[in-house]
Amino acid sequence: MGDMMSRRLSRFLFSAVAAFLLLAVIPSAAYAADAKIAFSDPSATVGDEFGVTMKFTSTSGDVLGNTSVYLTYDSDLIEFLADRSSSNANGGSGTIIVTSGMEGKTEVATQLYFNAKKPGTAKIQVITDNSEGYDSDGQSLNMVQIGSSTITIQAKEGASYSSDATLSSLRISPGVLDPEFSSDVDSYTTSVSLDTERLTVSAVTSDSGASVSVEGDEGLAEGENTVLCVVTAEDGTTTMTYTITVNKVEGGASAPEGGESETVPAEELEVLAELESSRSLSKIGVTALPSGVSAPAGLKESQITIGDTKVTGWTPVVAEGSTPEYVVFYGVTDDGSQGFYRYDMTDKTLQRYFQDVTSQTEGDMEDQDVVTLYNNLREDYMRMRVIAIVAGVIALILLIVLLVVKASSSGKADRREIRQEEFDDAPARKVRARRESQQSAERKLTQEERYMMDEEPEPEEEQEIDLIPVSRKTKEDSERLREEENLLKEQLASNLAAASKEEGQEEDFEFLDLDDDE
């Protein structure tokens, strides 16, 4: 019985271990929650204020954790109003950062407010490379849908706007346009190397009130790719699309390393605008990006208006505030020196721009520190979680082993006690058997004495005395048995007489043969 209980206990404990291990593994292999980003698509009139709703939603129903979404918008068509928007949205100059924390929600809605500057179709899009989100357990969210906002801006009634939707300049890097650019030609081809992932496009509109957007310039695939430059006139309705067919093949043009430019004669550079430092007499002629020159890494391309001319520049991603601290241009000096120049928008100073870690703004560095700290804390949490699970499993296994050993020892002790009791009880059983045997003999003698004293014998005892029927024996056997029986009766009578004399009683006994039929 002890072995059976031990086996049952072992099966129960191993089942408990299996259940515990299953529960321990499930959280470690938890799937990432699904989420989406959606926007509203409002309409507005030039000069009006309008709002756009952005919703970050967990489609799988999991509670959201920390999220950070970077947005871009057409700053030449709409102006971001940071003071009117939700407190978790900050930015300006074409970039917005929307953040949220551990609020215990499955959806976070953010209101973004803008002012419509010019007619046209403005876009608000998510910068997927910089955006990230986590659920409440620290698991990275699986973005199943990332939307965008399209804002239709109508011209004011009675206002006059230009319908010019042409480009005055179009340059690419790496590669060369074929045929040579002309504002009347809208289709071009070029070839780039297999290691080229992005085509840098520098497009300048003929009319300062027009806007341009570039599509398909990133993530170039091997073979044929299509890059579109869509120009929207000031009136917001007239458009013109310049198409660049990019062949990504072996032997195509490669971007120069480190953003260094190929030597281009200064006289061939078209000066679009001039910047002058308020603290020096230096002037820089701002030009379009020459062919074969790579745009500065880590900066966002923006359309900047200098005087009455719109030119292409590059600004840092703004974490806070409404305007970036500086803008980078490609320019040429009076002595023919050319390259990238940094213009400080606060101090109005000019200096050569060198691509290094110092090009990051203080806000960018703070954001990176926060992200790095969060990632380190998350890694520590996951590491401690694994250690806790392993320690729990080891402790449970040791507990099970201890219980099994204890159960086995208890069963053996029970069996030893039973055997010891049986051994200790053997002499007692023998004594009881002898006592019962003596009592049985005494009971038989007493029955015979009662019989000799003419008491009524019990039916069973009469049957025991008449053990052998005469019909079953021969005549000689019957006589012999009768003689033995008579001798036994005489002996009993003699014993009784002797006992009576010792007690002082004298009685005469006459032996009667009760069984004599003659």
Please choose, from the candidates 52, 50, 59, 51, the residue with its C-alpha nearest in 3D space to the C-alpha of residue 146: 59
Please choose, from the candidates 333, 347, 330, the residue with its C-alpha nearest in 3D space to the C-alpha of residue 282: 333
Question: In this predicted structure, what is the pLDDT of residue 357?
Answer: 40
> Which residues lie closer than 8 Å to 68 by C-beta, 6 or more apart?
97, 98, 99, 130, 131, 132, 133
At 156 the three-state DSSP class reads coil
Residue 143: enclosing H or E segment and its boundaries?
strand 142-146
Q: Which residue has the higher pLDDT, 496 or 115?
A: 115
pLDDT band at 13 (very low <50, low <70, confident <90, very high): low
At 284 the three-state DSSP class reads strand
Residues 117-127 as b or e (16 or more Cβ within 10 Å = b): bbbbbbbbbbe
Is the per-residue pLDDT at 63 higher than 70? yes
Separation of alpha carbons 249 and 351, rounded Å:
38
**If you write DSSP's letter for every residue of 180-227 in order, what string do you get?**
---TT--EEEEEE-TT--B-EEEEEESSTT-EEEEES-BSPPSEEEEE
Separation of alpha carbons 270 and 250, rounded Å:
32
**Sign of the alpha-carbon torsion through 10, 12, 15, 16:** negative
Question: In this predicted structure, what is the pLDDT of residue 260?
Answer: 46
Separation of alpha carbons 82 and 85, rounded Å:
5
| Average pLDDT score, the chain | 76
| Six-digit token string for 164 | 């010019």
Please choose, from the candidates 438, 447, 389, the residue with its C-alpha nearest in 3D space to the C-alpha of residue 30: 389
Report the range of poorest mean pLDDT among 292-296, 424-428, 496-500.
424-428
Is the per-residue pLDDT at 240 higher than 70? yes
Report the range of poorest mean pLDDT among 269-278, 303-312, 357-366.
357-366
Strand bridging mode 200-205 / 338-344: unpaired
pTM: 0.46
| Six-digit token string for 112 | 């973004």
The average pLDDT across 314-333 equals 74
The average pLDDT across 4-13 equals 60
Question: In this predicted structure, what is the pLDDT of residue 359?
Answer: 41
Question: In this predicted structure, what is the pLDDT of residue 487?
Answer: 81
Query: Which residues does residue 433 pair with via DSSP β-bridges, in sequence order?
Result: none
> Which residues lie closer than 8 Å to 91 by C-beta, 6 or more apart?
71, 80, 82, 97, 318, 320, 321, 322
pLDDT band at 139 (very low <50, low <70, confident <90, very high): confident
Is the per-residue pLDDT at 399 higher than 90? no
Query: Do the Cβ atoms of 338 and 269 come closer than 8 Å?
Result: yes
Separation of alpha carbons 76 and 259, rounded Å:
27
pLDDT band at 216 (very low <50, low <70, confident <90, very high): very high
Residues 69-92 as b or e (16 or more Cβ within 10 Å = b): bbbbbbbbbbbbbbeebbebbbbb
Highest mean pLDDT among 129-143, 272-286, 455-469, 481-495: 129-143
The average pLDDT across 90-98 equals 85
Highest mean pLDDT among 90-99, 287-296, 479-488: 90-99
Report the range of poorest mean pLDDT among 62-66, 125-129, 465-469.
465-469
The average pLDDT across 345-358 equals 69
Please choose, from the candidates 353, 334, 336, the residue with its C-alpha nearest in 3D space to the C-alpha of residue 344: 353
Separation of alpha carbons 52 and 70, rounded Å:
15
Is the per-residue pLDDT at 77 higher than 80? yes
3-class DSSP string for 89-136: EEEECCEEEEEECCCCCCEEEEEEEEEECCCEEEEEEECCCCCEEEEC
